[in-house]
Each structure stands twice: as structure tokens, then as C-alpha cells.
């Protein structure tokens, strides 16, 4: 792997609470290269919080700590809010679950894409418009001119998410974080949106972090998968070999999934071991290498 | 401490414990809201003063005219001075709290049931019922509130009871709209559908499922409106359409004091301050309640 | 036959603006059978379920439940026969009512009596204990809430249980627990189940026969075995089957973009 796009070492996110602090993310370390990295976990596993912390979107009262948080050569820990805002969109971008909430309802979708281009690249109105139209074409929208002038409520969920991707990628970021980008979509549309994201990420040589609860989706789409439980990474493995996962949590999750063509009277239920909650001492990056060898 | 643990038990053992625990949690959340606590303090003080008025001041001095003593400034005998008929202003303000509280309670008792009775069916049934009830509400909303209250008070004749009726008649429409809006947002909820599926009648659904969800926002709105109601009552009193002399109504006291405002400023200012502080108290309390209830989702 | 639907149509609007949420749906489910309706959002699967439940008064066509034809308004006894578990365990429980209040209401409506015993029995049946009885929904996890919703449906001892995506809002591990609970309850009570889901694997796990819906119509009725074997004839079913297998890196999906869906 050449020099990683993102390097995270011992990232922790803590929320202060009435009965002590809640550690949503605990000492998470990983790197992202020009690849598709999946983060899977159940609700409360800290997977979304990890994504938001990287983007600098984990706001107070949350406390973010890390020994290292490098986007290329930039130390994200020392960036001011203003500098972070400039980085978001230009160097790293995020796609969220529901385009309904991410798009401005009173602005034409094309203008929203063009505006990102203008803010980050300082282009003229005409240049931005041309770039936006090109981007709409890149996300396989047939009639970009017409879609450019539509308002968010006029587009379907799948197209809304494609527009979101266009807006996020127009300034040419090198890292895209997609947090459950297709969970609000129908299954047949899901695969289309993922294909488009896949195509663009490959063409542009970007890094992608796909955060999802869906094991099948992540293992079929990504190159590597991180499995998170209770704020920690319990396993890192190649997506193809998820079936050979070592950690009992990962194995339990896989077994609990109903499968077409494998009818079982009773699904094996996940038995949670309290020991999984304990802090993992050894940094996982090394452990996964051992596993891979 | 044991009491606290019992109240905060995540697995209550009875209906009562669950209910009390819920209230206690709400109280813990409210306690953190400093301004809300100040508001609560003021309102409790008002209630305390009204309840124990005869113990705080001599009842006779609120009404007894001592013309030799008129318009006295502050002194040991009369901390807030005396008015144009030589009555002790402190005693009058203290007894005035009773009148203010009566107005507040009576208006609440009239306004909330009317508002719910009109707003809930409108939001729940929709269609022509909604249209009819809301147009009726619009008619009342179309008049400026104080002018309408004045007209009612003038038609019914001056007096404290009529002032209350006049205020209540003008105050209910926003409550009907609020109850309707709250009902509309809940009408399609799955728990309403579940109740319907179980065979619950419309009346049961409204009473057991919707009313408990509407009440908090109605109560908050009422608390915030209290300041307005007190001011309207004072306004009616000021114009001579509210409580009649010699009863120590704050608005009426301001009204009589305005003639001597430049030379004996305390006669009008002290009851004015009482109106101001009480309104502020209700407003702070309402704001605090709103913050806490929206914070809890 | 426990559930018979004949030419059930649910439409909204009139004239040119008329929109059929469900069109001419005919199906039958045997006593004790679990039948699945699968489709995407807007396919009409939930509409059919709500028509069976009696929540859509203007549904056209014939609905017969346990040998009894349903009228426009259901009687209290008819209500007792059919109960439903909703998708969202956060929205289907009243936020200000304890579990005890939620479970006591149906007993009071139908004047079943013996409320205390019935409530604790229902809780036990869904794997919860007395410690959950006086909690508010916000003090329960998603899986526990869904268990309460199931207990509420079962407390009236219905013959037919309708399931509207009962596990789609839950985590995988919790989904397995709820699916196991539903299988057990079906076995023990001889319940007839009609389940709606967009997840083929979930629906094939619980159901024997499955109808695929698209744009308000049933396009194919098949069995779990045939689905698993990929032995389906309708092109839409085939596409659904492909999508359910996860992401296909060969990139064939971009060909499907022909229909730029615009609302």
C-alpha cells in the first residue's frame, strides 16, 4: 500500500454524562489508502461517531482525542473550525443516509452542486454550472439540464442520493465517507447508487469509507472491513474472507443473519460476552496482519 | 437518599412508583434550569402571599380609609407608603395577589377545556368537522384581543367575574389551534393505529392517547400566556371595567395612582411592579418548562 | 382458509389524479400458515396489510377472515381476531405510557378481566419479566419495545397476526431474537401470519409462500424454496433477488438505470 490517505491512531470520542463519561469510540486505529474500507457494527457501536470525528463534526460536548489523525500531510487535530470547513468538500467529503435532510429544500439541486464548486475552487458562475452538469452526467443522470433545475422534493430517493454524491465529489476530495448511504433506499436502487459510487471512487483514485450495519453489503462492496463493537474495532479483515472471521462477535452476527436457501428452524442468537467490552490492549493493525499472513 | 434511589429505580415495581419516578426525573431536569427555578420561586411566592395574606398584613389596613394619612411616603408603619385614601399600599398589594390568582385560576379553568374541546375533535376527525370548528375559531381570532375583551366586559357590566369571562372568551382560540396541531401530528402515529386495531373507541383514543400528549404543550402555552392574562386583567381594571373599588386590584390601583404619579410616584409604581414581577415569574416558569419538555424530546 | 382477499383495491384521489396504492389483490392464506408479501416502498404491500387489518375503511373488494366477511366497520369481536405488529418499535408504543398501561388497555376495551395475571403472562410469553412491567418505552431497548408490541398484539389472543416489517428497524442480532420469538409463538398458538418485508431472506425465513408486489399489484406468487433456488419467472422478482444478494462488483447494475425515477 502506498502512503495512506488517512491515518488514525488511538482515536477516542467521549460524551460526558450524568453517571460518568460515555466512551462512544475507544482507541480506534486504522489507515485508509486508495481503497474501499467498510466499517460495520450494530447501533451504538461507534461506527458513525468515528466517521463524524474524522470529518471534525463531533461537536461539543463530545471530546475527541487521538494520537494521530492525519489526512495526507494535514494534522486534523490542530485545524481550526474554519480550516476544517475548507477541508470538508475539498479534501474529504461525507454522504449521509437520507438525501432529504442533506439537500437544501429551497435551492435547485444543480445550484447546490455548483455552489460547492465555486466555494472550493473559486470558479465563475458559468464554470461552476458546466462542472455541475458534467458531475450530474457522471452520476448517470440522463437529462442533466432538466435535473439541474429541479428542487429536492421533485427527485426520488435514489436520484437524491446520486445528486448528493455529485455535490460531494465535485470539488475533487480524495476521501469520501459514506454513512449508511443506501439504507433509506429500496434494494434495487441501492445497488445502482453503490455502483455509481464505486465507479467514481475507482476512476478518481479516491479512498472510501463505507459505514453500514449491513454485513452482506459491506463484504460484497469493500476491500477491507473493520468490525466495531462497543466503540472498539474488534476485527479487521479482507472483505472476501469475512466468512472466516475470528472474533466471536463477527461470527455470531454472521450466523444470526437469515439466509435465502438455508432454512433453519431457529436462528443462532448472539451471546454477548462481557469480556468483549474490555479494552483491547494490542493495537489491531498488527493483529490483523498476523491474521492475514 | 433511599427515597431518591426508589424514585430513580430503572425497574419500578408499581404504577405509582413509575409515575412518581417520571415526575422526579422531570423535576431533576427542571431544577437545572436556573431561570425556570426563579420563575417557579416567584409563582410560589405569589401563591404563598395570597394564601397567608391575613397573616402577613392587617386585613383592615387594606380597606380602611384614613384621610389624615393620605399619600404618605415610605415609613415604618407603611413600608410602601399610603394611597390617596390613606390605605396601606403594602396591605393592598398583598391582598391584590388573591385577586390576581383568582383571575389566573378561573381563566385557566375555562380556557383549557374550551380549547381542548374544540381543537381535539378538529384535529382528530378532520374533514368538515375540522373546517367548521376552525372557522368558528378564526372568527374569534379575527378580533384584537383587548378590544374584544373590552367589548365583552362593557356588555356584561364591570366586575371581576365578568372580567374573567371576557378574558377567557378571548383567550381560548390559540389553545384550540394548538390542540388541533398537536393532534394532527399524532393522528397518524402507529400507536394510535394500534389502539384503533384493538377496538378502542374514538373517545377512548382521544382521552387516553392524545390528551396526555397535548397537555404538556397546552400547559406551557398557558403559563407563557399568564403574563398576558394578568396584564389584560390589569388593563381592564385600569379602565374601570375590572374589579370595582374599593377592592385592591393591581390594575385599578395603578389607574388611581396615575393622577399623583409625578409627586407620589409609589402609589402607581408599587402595584405596577407587582404586575411586572408576577408576569415575569410566569414567563420564566413557562420558558423553563418548555426547555425541559423539548429537551426530553 | 384463514385469510381470503378477493380483488382488493385501495385507491386515493379521483379521476385523472386517481392513484391505486393496491390494485386487484387476490390471495388466500390457510389456517396456521405464514404468508409473506415482499416488495419495495410504494409497492402496496403495507397497504394490503392495513386493508386486512381494517385500518383502511375505503378499501374495495372482499376481505374474509376466519370464515367471516368483513364489513366497512369492524365490530369489537372482529377487531379481537386480527392484531398487528408495526415496523417502528419507537413509534408504535405511546411514549407517556408504561408497559403496564399499554398492555392493560386492550384488556379493558374487551372487558377480559383478570388484567394483572394477563399482563404478567403476556410479558413472560415474549421473554420479558416483571422488572419491565412499569417501564416507559424510553427505558427499553429497540428489541424490548418490539417484544412489548408483540405482547400487546397477542394479549387479545388473536387468530391472525399481521407483521409490518417487524425487524427492519432492529440490529441483526436483535432481529434473530425477534424472528425466533415469532416462529415459536406461531408454533405454540397456531397463529396465521401475514408478513410484509423488503428483505427476501427475512421473509423466506419465516414464511412458506411468498407473493411479490410491484406498483400495487402482485406480480408473482412463489415459495421460499423456489426463491432460494432462483426459480422465479417474473423479471422484477429476478431483479429483487439479485439486489438482495448484496453488491455485484461486475457492475451490471448500471444497465438498470434506464428508468430515471422522477417523482
pLDDT digits (tens, 9 = 90+) for B12-65: 888 888 888 888 888 988 998 999 999 999 999 999 999 998 888 888 888 888
What distance in Å separates the CA atoms of residue C247 and residue A197, rounded to the nearest whole number?
12
* Inter-chain residue contact B198 with C96, CB threshold 8 Å: no
What residues of chain B have any CB closer than 8 angstroms to a CB in chain C?
Answer: 10-15, 17-18, 22, 189-191, 193-200, 204, 208-209, 212-213, 297
Instruction: Name the 3-class secondary structure at C147.
Output: helix
- pLDDT exceeding 90 applies to what percent of chain B? 38
Q: What are phi and psi of C116, to 5 degrees?
A: -60, -50
pLDDT for C100: 93
Confidence of residue A283 (pLDDT cuts 50, 70, 90): low
* Inter-chain residue contact B198 with C83, CB threshold 8 Å: yes
Evaluate whether A246 touches A291 at the Cβ level (below 8 Å): yes
pLDDT for B278: 93
Pick the closest to residue B243 from B159, B153, B132 (CA basis): B159
Pairing of strands A36-40, A207-212: parallel
Chain A nearest CA to C90, separation (Å): 14
pLDDT for B10: 79
Pairing of strands C192-197, C209-214: unpaired
Q: Is residue B21 part of a domain?
A: no
C95-137, pLDDT tens digit by residue? 989 999 999 999 999 998 888 999 999 999 999 988 899 999 9
- The chain C residue lying nearest A271, using CA atoms, is C173
What distance in Å separates the CA atoms of residue B85 and residue C59, rounded to the nearest whole number?
77
pLDDT at B130 over 90: yes
Domain C3-243 class, CATH top level? alpha beta
Q: Which of A263, A266, A268 sits opposite C224 (nearest CB)?
A: A263
In this prediction, residues A44-49 reach a mean pLDDT of 90
| Rounded alpha-carbon distances, angstroms, from residue B137 to A253, B177, C138 | 57, 8, 36
What distance in Å separates the CA atoms of residue B37 and residue C68, rounded to the nearest whole number?
60
C50-90, pLDDT tens digit by residue? 999 999 888 899 999 988 899 888 898 899 999 999 988 88
For residue C36, list its beta bridge partners: C195, C210
pLDDT for C43: 87
For residue A265, list its beta bridge partners: none
Q: Is residue B6 part of a domain?
A: no
B169-213, pLDDT tens digit by residue? 889 999 999 999 999 999 889 999 999 999 999 999 999 999 999
Evaluate whether A46 touches A25 at the Cβ level (below 8 Å): yes
| Rounded alpha-carbon distances, angstroms, from residue B63 to A192, B237, B259 | 84, 17, 20
Q: Hey, what's the cell of C211?
A: 407473493
Task: Tell me the chain A residues in contact with residue C201 when contact means C-beta distances shorter than 8 Å.
Answer: 257-260
pLDDT for A99: 77
* Inter-chain residue contact C171 with A42, CB threshold 8 Å: yes
Chain C nearest CA to B23, separation (Å): 11
pLDDT for B292: 84
pLDDT for A102: 83
Dihedral Cα A176, A177, A180, A186, nearest 10 deg: 0
- The chain B residue lying nearest C130, using CA atoms, is B13
| Rounded alpha-carbon distances, angstroms, from residue B188 to B193, B195, B196, B201 | 7, 12, 11, 16
Mean pLDDT of all residues belonging to chain C: 88
* Inter-chain residue contact C242 with A257, CB threshold 8 Å: no
pLDDT for A51: 92
Confidence of residue C259 (pLDDT cuts 50, 70, 90): very low
Q: Hey, what's the cell of A213?
A: 450495519
- As for how many domains chain B has, the answer is 1
Residues 6+ apart with CB under 8 A from A291: A236, A237, A246
**Of B135 and B84, which is predicted with more confidence?**
B135
Task: Tell me the chain C residues in contact with residue A142 when contact means C-beta distances shorter than 8 Å.
Answer: 257, 260
In this prediction, residues A143-170 reach a mean pLDDT of 88
* Inter-chain residue contact B196 with C55, CB threshold 8 Å: yes
pLDDT for C261: 41
Note whether C107 contacts B: Cβ–Cβ < 8 A. no
C197-244, pLDDT tens digit by residue? 988 899 999 999 999 999 899 999 999 989 888 888 888 888 888 877
Q: Is residue B30 part of a domain?
A: no
Chain B nearest CA to C128, separation (Å): 12
* Inter-chain residue contact B212 with C83, CB threshold 8 Å: no
* Inter-chain residue contact C176 with A269, CB threshold 8 Å: yes
pLDDT for A185: 81
Note whether A203 contacts C: Cβ–Cβ < 8 A. no
* Inter-chain residue contact C93 with B191, CB threshold 8 Å: yes
Pairing of strands A232-238, C192-197: unpaired
pLDDT for A284: 53
Confidence of residue A10 (pLDDT cuts 50, 70, 90): very high
pLDDT for A89: 85
For residue C162, list its beta bridge partners: C84, C194
pLDDT for A281: 62
What distance in Å separates the CA atoms of residue A83 and residue B142, rounded to the nearest whole number?
52
Q: Which chains pack against A, by 3+ Cβ pairs within 8 A? A: C
B90-125, pLDDT tens digit by residue? 999 999 999 989 998 999 999 999 999 999 999 999
Pick the closest to residue C84 from C181, C162, C151, C164 (CA basis): C162
pLDDT at B132 over 90: yes
In this prediction, residues C156-169 reach a mean pLDDT of 92
* Inter-chain residue contact B15 with C100, CB threshold 8 Å: yes
Q: Is residue B9 part of a domain?
A: no
Confidence of residue B1 (pLDDT cuts 50, 70, 90): low
Chain A nearest CA to C87, separation (Å): 14
As separate numbers, helices (DSSP H) first and strands (DSSP E) second, chain A gives: 11, 11
pLDDT for A290: 40
pLDDT for A291: 42
Mean pLDDT of all residues belonging to chain A: 86
* Inter-chain residue contact C84 with B194, CB threshold 8 Å: yes
- The chain B residue lying nearest C73, using CA atoms, is B199
- The chain A residue lying nearest C229, using CA atoms, is A261
Confidence of residue B157 (pLDDT cuts 50, 70, 90): confident
pLDDT for C26: 94
In this prediction, residues A262-278 reach a mean pLDDT of 81
Note whether A3 contacts C: Cβ–Cβ < 8 A. no
Note whether C134 contacts B: Cβ–Cβ < 8 A. yes
Q: Please work out, in degrees rounded to the nearest 5, the angle formed at the alpha carbon of residue A152 by the alpha carbons of A147 and A157.
A: 90
Q: Which chains pack against C, by 3+ Cβ pairs within 8 A? A: A, B
Confidence of residue B152 (pLDDT cuts 50, 70, 90): confident
What distance in Å separates the CA atoms of residue C244 and residue A257, rounded to the nearest whole number?
13
The domain in which residue B90 lies consists of 38-295
Q: Which of C55, C91, C101 sits opposite B197 (nearest CB)?
A: C55
Q: Is residue B118 part of a domain?
A: yes
C17-53, pLDDT tens digit by residue? 888 899 999 999 999 999 999 988 888 899 999 999 9
User: Residue for cell digits 378532520?
Assistant: B126
* Residue of A149, A156, A180, A191 to mutate when probing chain C, most C C-beta within 10 A: A191
pLDDT for C258: 43
Task: Tell me the chain C residues in contact with residue B209 when contact means C-beta distances shorter than 8 Å.
Answer: 94
Q: How many CB atoms lie within 10 A of CB C102?
A: 23
Sign of the dihedral through C-alpha B39, B41, B45, B47: positive
What distance in Å separates the CA atoms of residue A56 and residue A81, rounded to the nearest whole number?
8
A49-85, pLDDT tens digit by residue? 999 999 988 888 888 989 999 998 889 988 888 898 8
Q: Please give the helix or strand (H or E) that residue C151 lies within, else none.
A: helix C142-154
* Inter-chain residue contact C100 with B194, CB threshold 8 Å: no
Q: Hey, what's the cell of A116?
A: 460547492
Maximum CA extent, chain A: 63
* Residue of C49, C77, C94 to mutate when probing chain B, most B C-beta within 10 A: C94
pLDDT at C161 over 90: yes
Note whether A261 contacts C: Cβ–Cβ < 8 A. yes
Chain A nearest CA to C41, separation (Å): 7
pLDDT at B137 over 80: yes
- The chain C residue lying nearest A184, using CA atoms, is C41
- pLDDT exceeding 90 applies to what percent of chain A? 25
Q: Is residue B101 part of a domain?
A: yes
Q: Please give the helix or strand (H or E) that residue C34 lies within, else none.
A: strand C34-38
CATH of the domain at B213: 1.10.3720.10
Amino acid at each position: 500500500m502506498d502512503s495512506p490517505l488517512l491515518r488514525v491512531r488511538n482515536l477516542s470520542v467521549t460524551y460526558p454524562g450524568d453517571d460518568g463519561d460515555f466512551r462512544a469510540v475507544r482507541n480506534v486505529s486504522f489507515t485508509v489508502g486508495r481503497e474501499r474500507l467498510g466499517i460495520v457494527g450494530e447501533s451504538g457501536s461507534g461506527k458513525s461517531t468515528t466517521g463524524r470525528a474524522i470529518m471534525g463534526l463531533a461537536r461539543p460536548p463530545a471530546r475527541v482525542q487521538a494520537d494521530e489523525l492525519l489526512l495526507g500531510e494535514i494534522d486534523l487535530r490542530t485545524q481550526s473550525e474554519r480550516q476544517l470547513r475548507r477541508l470538508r468538500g475539498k479534501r474529504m467529503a461525507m454522504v449521509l443516509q437520507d438525501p432529504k435532510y442533506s439537500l437544501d429544500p429551497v435551492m435547485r439541486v444543480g445550484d447546490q452542486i455548483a455552489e460547492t464548486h465555486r466555494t472550493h475552487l473559486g470558479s465563475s458562475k458559468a464554470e461552476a454550472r458546466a462542472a455541475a452538469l458534467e458531475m450530474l452526467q457522471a452520476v448517470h443522470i440522463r437529462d442533466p439540464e432538466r435535473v439541474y433545475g429541479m428542487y429536492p422534493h421533485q427527485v426520488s430517493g435514489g436520484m437524491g442520493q446520486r445528486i448528493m454524491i455529485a455535490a460531494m465529489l465535485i470539488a475533487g476530495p480524495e476521501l469520501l465517507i459514506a454513512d449508511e448511504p443506501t439504507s433509506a433506499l429500496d434494494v434495487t436502487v441501492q445497488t445502482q447508487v453503490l455502483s455509481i459510487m464505486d465507479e467514481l471512487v475507482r476512476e478518481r483514485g479516491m479512498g472510501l469509507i463505507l459505514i453500514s450495519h449491513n454485513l452482506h453489503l459491506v463484504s460484497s462492496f469493500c476491500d477491507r472491513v473493520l468490525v466495531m463493537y462497543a466503540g472498539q474495532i474488534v476485527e479487521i479483515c479482507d472483505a472476501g474472507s469475512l466468512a472466516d472471521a475470528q472474533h466471536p462477535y463477527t461470527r455470531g452476527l454472521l450466523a444470526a443473519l437469515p439466509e435465502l436457501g438455508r432454512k433453519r428452524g431457529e436462528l443462532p442468537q448472539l451471546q454477548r460476552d462481557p469480556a468483549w467490552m474490555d479494552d483491547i490492549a494490542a493495537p489491531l493493525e498488527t493483529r490483523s496482519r498476523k491474521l492475514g499472513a | 437518599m433511599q427515597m431518591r434511589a426508589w424514585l430513580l429505580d430503572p425497574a419500578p415495581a408499581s404504577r405509582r412508583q413509575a409515575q412518581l419516578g417520571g415526575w422526579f426525573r422531570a423535576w431533576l431536569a427542571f431544577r437545572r434550569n436556573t431561570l425556570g427555578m426563579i420563575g417557579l420561586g416567584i409563582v410560589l411566592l405569589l401563591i404563598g402571599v395570597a394564601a397567608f395574606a391575613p397573616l402577613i398584613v392587617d386585613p383592615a389596613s387594606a380597606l380602611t380609609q384614613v384621610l389624615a394619612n393620605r399619600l404618605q411616603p415610605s415609613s415604618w408603619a407603611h413600608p410602601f407608603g399610603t394611597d390617596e385614601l390613606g390605605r396601606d399600599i403594602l396591605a393592598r398589594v398583598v391582598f391584590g395577589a388573591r385577586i390576581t390568582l383568582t383571575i389566573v385560576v378561573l381563566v385557566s379553568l375555562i380556557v383549557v377545556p374550551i380549547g381542548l374541546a374544540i381543537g381535539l375533535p378538529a384535529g382528530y376527525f378532520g374533514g368538515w368537522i375540522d373546517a367548521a370548528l376552525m372557522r368558528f375559531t378564526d372568527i374569534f381570532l379575527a378580533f384584537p384581543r383587548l378590544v374584544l375583551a373590552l367589548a365583552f366586559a362593557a356588555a356584561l357590566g364591570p366586575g371581576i367575574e365578568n372580567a374573567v369571562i371576557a378574558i377567557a372568551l378571548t383567550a381560548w382560540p390559540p389553545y384550540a389551534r394548538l390542540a388541533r396541531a398537536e393532534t394532527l401530528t399524532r393522528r397518524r402515529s402507529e400507536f394510535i393505529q394500534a389502539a384503533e386495531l384493538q377496538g378502542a373507541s374514538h373517545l377512548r383514543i382521544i382521552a387516553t392517547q392524545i390528551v396526555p400528549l397535548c397537555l404538556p404543550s397546552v400547559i406551557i402555552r398557558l403559563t407563557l400566556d399568564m403574563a398576558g392574562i394578568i396584564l389584560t386583567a390589569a388593563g381592564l381594571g385600569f379602565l374601570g371595567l375590572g374589579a370595582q373599588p374599593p377592592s385592591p386590584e393591581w390594575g385599578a390601583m395603578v389607574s388611581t395612582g396615575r393622577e399623583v404619579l409625578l409627586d407620589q410616584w409609589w402609589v402607581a409604581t408599587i402595584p405596577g411592579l407587582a404586575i411586572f414581577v408576577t408576569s415575569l415569574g410566569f414567563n420564566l416558569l413557562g420558558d423553563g418548562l418548555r426547555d425541559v419538555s423539548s429537551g426530553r424530546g | 382458509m384463514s385469510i381470503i382477499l378477493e380483488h382488493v383495491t385501495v385507491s386515493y384521489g379521483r379521476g385523472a389524479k386517481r392513484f391505486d396504492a393496491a390494485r386487484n389483490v387476490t390471495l388466500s392464506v390457510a389456517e396456521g400458515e405464514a404468508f409473506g408479501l415482499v416488495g419495495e416502498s410504494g409497492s402496496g404491500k403495507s397497504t394490503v396489510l392495513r386493508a386486512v387489518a381494517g385500518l383502511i375503511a375505503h378499501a374495495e373488494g372482499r376481505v374474509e377472515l376466519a370464515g367471516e366477511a368483513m364489513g366497512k366497520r369492524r365490530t369489537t369481536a372482529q377487531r379481537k381476531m386480527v392484531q398487528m405488529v408495526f415496523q417502528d418499535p419507537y413509534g408504535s408504543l405511546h411514549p407517556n405510557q408504561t408497559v403496564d398501561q399499554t398492555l392493560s388497555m386492550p384488556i379493558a376495551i374487551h372487558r377480559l378481566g383478570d388484567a394483572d395475571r394477563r399482563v404478567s403472562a403476556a410479558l413472560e410469553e415474549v421473554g420479558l419479566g416483571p422488572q419491565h412491567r412499569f417501564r416507559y418505552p424510553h427505558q427499553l431497548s429497540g428489541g424490548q419495545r418490539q417484544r412489548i408490541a408483540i405482547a400487546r398484539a397477542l394479549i387479545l389472543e388473536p387468530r391472525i397476526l399481521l407483521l409490518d416489517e417487524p425487524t427492519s428497524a432492529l440490529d441483526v442480532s436483535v432481529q434473530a431474537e425477534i424472528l425466533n420469538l415469532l416462529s415459536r409463538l406461531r408454533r405454540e398458538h397456531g397463529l396465521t401470519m401475514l408478513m410484509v418485508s423488503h428483505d427476501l431472506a427475512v421473509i423466506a425465513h419465516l414464511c412458506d409462500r411468498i407473493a411479490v408486489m410491484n406498483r400495487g399489484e402482485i406480480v408473482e406468487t412463489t415459495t421460499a424454496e423456489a426463491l432460494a433456488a432462483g426459480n422465479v419467472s417474473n423479471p422484477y422478482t429476478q431483479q429483487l433477488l439479485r439486489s438482495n444478494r448484496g453488491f455485484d462488483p461486475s457492475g451490471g447494475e448500471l444497465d438498470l438505470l434506464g428508468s430515471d425515477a422522477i417523482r
